[in-house]
Amino acid sequence: MSKRIAETIQKIRTFQEEARECAAQMTMNGDYIRQEFGNVRMSDELRNRTQALCVDLGEIQLDLLSEVLGINQLLEQDASNTEILLRVNLIE
């Protein structure tokens, strides 16, 4: 278990919660865009690029959640603040 003070751990947990919420929003936004394709006129090129963006949002969401879970591992290993901050910066 981490030797960090409770306030620091709480800030890290809050950050993780907000990052998970961001990931959920990315997924919902991608889903919404896909649902609205039939209602929007656009060129085939723009439609293909938009579909690719939706795929990217899903992949980024999975990467984001993986990195958030990685913070838990760092805390369990009592990793340095620098290591945790690097992971936070990557997520941001």
Q: Domain locations in the chain? A: 6-91
Nearest one of 5, 16, 25 to 88, comparing CA atoms: 16
The reported pTM is 0.80
Cβ–Cβ < 8 Å for 53, 61: no
Average pLDDT of span 24-44: 90
How many residues in the chain? 92
Q: pLDDT tens, 54-91? A: 888 888 888 999 999 999 999 999 998 899 999 999 99
